[in-house]
């Protein structure tokens, strides 16, 4: 059955961003992994060293993949790190610079706010939640493209 072109386009997200860990923690993890592999090879032989190195490589790679932050706007909803919110529950949306983000992650943080923050990303977006049944006051989201995200949310 052929699909109408508008139907296919409506499935495309209005905004899509994926944030992976920075190079520093990844490098550190793989340096640590190789050190542990050498230690096992010295103590138990090269077979065990290679086995441990392979196992840790798989575990660390899985951890890196799972720690990514996916932000998407699709079908009238904002999806962030597995959570979703409909447009009708979104209030004011504000782009935050590094200093504002630092305050909301620290001193001015609300303990019940939803946070999808990655410390190596300086900017972010604060999305006010206006659902009377939801105690969460806002979502704090790290983003490399804050203005594009704010614009896409406001266009929902």
Output the pLDDT for position 10.
58
What DSSP state is assigned to residue 147? H
Regions of the chain with pLDDT less than 50: 1-4, 6-8
87-103 burial: b if 16+ Cβ within 10 Å, else e: eebbeebebbeeeebee
Q: For the purposes of burial, counting CB atoms within 10 Å of the CB of 108, is it exposed (0-12), middle (13-18) or buried (19 or more)?
A: exposed
Number of structural domains (the chain) is 2
Same domain, 62 and 85: no
Residue 111 belongs to a domain: yes
Residue 71 belongs to a domain: no
Same domain, 58 and 107: no
Residue-range definition of the domain harbouring residue 47: 21-66
Output the pLDDT for position 9.
52
Over residues 88-133, the pLDDT tens digits come to 999 999 999 999 999 999 999 999 999 999 988 999 999 999 999 9
Residue 4 belongs to a domain: no
Same domain, 36 and 90: no
Q: How many whole angstroms separate alpha carbon 143 and alpha carbon 120? A: 10
Output the pLDDT for position 11.
73
Residue 12 belongs to a domain: no
Same domain, 95 and 139: yes
Same domain, 87 and 140: yes
- pTM summary value: 0.79
Same domain, 87 and 147: yes
Residue 150 belongs to a domain: yes
């Amino acid at each position: 059955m052929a699909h109408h072109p508008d139907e296919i386009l409506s499935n495309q997200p209005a905004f899509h961003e994926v944030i992976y860990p920075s190079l520093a923690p990844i490098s550190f993890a793989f340096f640590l992994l190789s050190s542990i592999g050498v230690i096992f090879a010295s103590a138990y032989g090269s077979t065990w060293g290679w086995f441990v190195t392979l196992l840790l490589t798989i575990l660390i790679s899985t951890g890196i993949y799972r720690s990514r932050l996916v932000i998407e706007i699709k079908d009238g909803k904002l999806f962030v790190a597995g959570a979703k919110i409909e447009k009708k529950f979104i209030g004011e949306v504000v782009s935050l610079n590094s200093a504002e983000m630092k305050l909301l992650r620290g001193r001015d943080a609300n303990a019940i706010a939803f946070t999808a923050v990655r410390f190596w990303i300086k900017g972010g977006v604060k999305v006010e939640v206006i659902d009377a049944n939801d105690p969460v006051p806002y979502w704090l989201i790290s983003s490399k493209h804050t203005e594009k995200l704010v614009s896409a949310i406001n266009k929902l």
